[in-house]
Chain A
């Protein structure tokens, strides 16, 4: 096997099987033509001339790669990339949300001890990361298949038939979402009215031996926090009303929003961690003559504070991260002032 044979075989190793023999034959024919040329100018062609010629022709892998320029050299091409971004974002958001729910449940089970917390968060991080990587792999695989099939080609055809009139307005991240603020105001107000004026509504009602009895859900201990709850609720209503009037988010209002979220979370956790805030205890139920299922019911009700804490911590974390991200985007997004 001559040096030229070895070279051609090496190029062939990196060529698609379909055209390999044909391309190899053409490279051989060209190399021999080039070698003939050198023989004529130099009189003879020894190994050194062949080496020089092959070096000039280029490294085998590089030569082979030039024959593949018209084929797919990427897993996900430009036409599929926007879909890849969209699908990845949706799948990642769903996975993270699900894993956060799992983390919350885990934290409830471990009872918020330092060791349990660290272990749950560690496990959550590892499993979430592994889940995200697996999901990413599947997304790439599916889109790579689509890219190489008729579906992909049809998609390209469809993407060319677009109508500019179908374009949506670019969403403005600084614009407030009024229903969100109206919803917060209404529910905070309702909460304030019930807690201050109709606390008796917050009770579990039973019919026992033909008599209607009730057990208040919240105790005197809970209502000791009422002034704090009122202050916090009024701040929340005031802030959301202010945002409805302003219509746009500004760095200062985003910072205020983060502070209110954190303060609300601290107050909620403090209340929920206080023992004796719930009135539905085994004793209370027994005193009312309810014995059947009383134990299970009181256990169920008394696990609520822990669940609430977990939800509050997770929701606050998400809200703070989202608001902080937008706060930093405010600073870097626009190179010139935009008149709203």
Chain B
């Protein structure tokens, strides 16, 4: 029981770092929050909406995302997010780092 909690906490920490890369990678085209949530979920990355929205705001405040409110197809107003030029540079760096890291971890864990 105690170990389960420990594992849960460690997984949470592990996911926290990965989520930013996952979100940046899915915003090469504009998405609003809920559509992004579903896009991530479709690809197997389940994320809580109360985690996603603050994360989007944080990435935006760091200059990695851009956003604007728009009404598309007469639907309700939605806030659309897209990766910024700076975000692309950061994402490319993170991708390279991620590849190295997974390679290293594969070697260590196999």
Contacts and interface: CB of A to CB of B under 8 A. Distances in A.
Contact of A57 (B33, B50, B54, B76): B50
B77 interface: yes
Contacts of A25: 69, 77, 79
Contacts of A26: 33, 53, 79
Interface string B42-58: 00000011110110011
Nearest to A62: B50
A123 interface: no
A30 B61 contact: no
B78 interface: yes
A23 B33 CA distance: 12
Contacts of B32: 29, 33
Contact of B78 (A29, A63, A66, A69): A29
A30 B54 contact: no
Chain B facing A: main interface SS: helix
A102 B64 CA distance: 61
Given A57-B50, A58-B50, A62-B50, A29 B76 contact: yes
Contact of A67 (B48, B53, B76, B79): B53
B77 A63 contact: no
B98 interface: no
A29 B76 CA distance: 7
B63 to A, nearest CB: 13
Nearest to B53: A26
A57 B69 CA distance: 22
Interface string A6-47: 000000000000010001011101101110000000000000
A29 B33 contact: yes
Nearest to B57: A67
B50 A33 contact: no
Contacts of A70: 58, 61
A63 B54 CA distance: 9
Nearest to B34: A33
Contacts of A66: 50-51, 53-54
A62 B54 CA distance: 12
A62 to B, nearest CB: 7
A11 to B, nearest CB: 10
B78 A57 contact: no
Contacts of A57: 49-50
A332 B86 CA distance: 53
A29 B53 contact: no
A242 to B, nearest CB: 52
Interface in B70-110: 76-79
Contacts of B69: 25
Which of A23, A26, A62: most chain B Cβ within 10 A?
A26
Contact of A29 (B50, B51, B58, B77): B77
A100 B53 CA distance: 56
A29 B49 CA distance: 12
A69 B76 contact: no
A111 to B, nearest CB: 61
A160 to B, nearest CB: 19
Given A25-B69, A25-B77, A30 B58 contact: no
Nearest to A33: B34
Contacts of A29: 32-34, 76-79
B53 A27 contact: yes
9 contacts: A23-B53, A26-B33, A26-B53, A26-B79, A27-B53, A29-B79, A57-B49, A58-B50, A67-B54
